[in-house]
A and B are shown apart, each in its own frame.
Chain A
Amino acid sequence: SQTIHQWPATLVQPVGSPLSLECTVEGTSNPNLYWYRQAAGRGLQLLFYSVGIGQISSEVPQNLSASRPQDRQFILSSKKLLLSDSGFYLCAWSVGPSYEQYFGPGTRLTVT
């Protein structure tokens, strides 16, 4: 069966510090991968998605970037965090043409 992992689960970082969040999927090959941010417990904002290694589409111009160095690994990064980057970050995967997305447990980021 497929599983999706995200780490860390929680993170507290000062303004201006770098960020790296990691997402890995097991049990499937060539998944589509997605990064979402959720503020205040409502609404899912799509940040990036990837249909293959090295292929990244950005939805919202901002302080963040994404990379996909391996088939089942998706990384969200920032060089300098802003207070507005605080939120709940969710990674998700889907297979091929299916729209069914499956979410990871999330990372709670607090920028202080």
Chain B
Amino acid sequence: GQQLNQSPQSMFIQEGEDVSMNCTSSSIFNTWLWYKQDPGEGPVLLIALYKAGELTSNGRLTAQFGITRKDSFLNISASIPSDVGIYFCAGPGGQKLVFGQGTRLTINP
């Protein structure tokens, strides 16, 4: 079945630093989604990508749909404490979503 490999698994950064994470698929996707989960809450959809090469921003967050259609990238600029959480990528798998294992972001003040 389809699998998503998300990296890095964990990140420890200083406040104000930029963050980059990525997700790769074993097969071609026509949609990439990025979610953020705060501790003890449900994941929230951050950005949805539908076209190869597409670059979409949501505030300080920018996500890109890789041109090979097998990868996607999420960047966070000038990190702040509320960026702490787990970031998940996801892509279509039949009638369902396939999720990556998540990138846990920790920020040192």
Binding site for B on A (CB under 8 A): 32, 34, 41-44, 46, 49, 51, 57, 59, 90, 92, 99-106, 108
Q: How many A-B residue pairs have CB under 8 A?
A: 50
- Partner of B96 from A34, A42, A43, A106 at Cβ < 8 Å: A34
In the complex, besides A43-B102, A46-B96, 12 extra interface pairs with C-beta distance below 8 angstroms are A32-B95, A34-B96, A42-B86, A42-B102, A43-B101, A49-B96, A51-B95, A99-B92, A102-B45, A103-B44, A106-B40, A106-B42
Tell whether, in the assembled complex, residue A100 and residue B45 are in contact, meaning their CB atoms are under 8 Å apart.
Answer: yes
Question: CA–CA, A73 to B48, complex, Å?
Answer: 26
Binding site for A on B (CB under 8 A): 31, 33, 35, 39-45, 48, 86, 88, 90-92, 95-97, 99, 101-102, 104
Question: CA–CA, A105 to B42, complex, Å?
Answer: 5
Tell whether, in the assembled complex, residue B33 and residue A100 are in contact, meaning their CB atoms are under 8 Å apart.
Answer: yes
Tell whether, in the assembled complex, residue A101 and residue B92 are in contact, meaning their CB atoms are under 8 Å apart.
Answer: no
Tell whether, in the assembled complex, residue A44 and residue B88 are in contact, meaning their CB atoms are under 8 Å apart.
Answer: yes
SS class of chain A's interface: helix, strand, loop or mixed? strand
For the complex of A and B, 6 pairs with smallest distance between CB atoms: A103-B42, A44-B99, A99-B92, A106-B42, A103-B43, A99-B31
SS class of chain B's interface: helix, strand, loop or mixed? strand
CB distance from A27 to the nearest CB of B (A): 16
Tell whether, in the assembled complex, residue B42 and residue A100 are in contact, meaning their CB atoms are under 8 Å apart.
Answer: no
Question: CA–CA, A92 to B104, complex, Å?
Answer: 21
Name A4's closest neighbour in chain B (CB-CB). B42
CB distance from A8 to the nearest CB of B (A): 14
CB distance from B45 to the nearest CB of A (A): 6
Q: Which residues of B contact A101 (CB under 8 A)?
A: 33, 45, 90, 97
Q: Which residues of B contact A100 (CB under 8 A)?
A: 33, 45, 48
CB distance from A102 to the nearest CB of B (A): 6
Question: CA–CA, A103 to B42, complex, Å?
Answer: 6
Q: Which residues of A contact B102 (CB under 8 A)?
A: 42-43
Known: A49-B96, A100-B33. A42 touches B45 (CB 8 A): no
Name B99's closest neighbour in chain A (CB-CB). A44
Q: Which residues of B contact A34 (CB under 8 A)?
A: 96
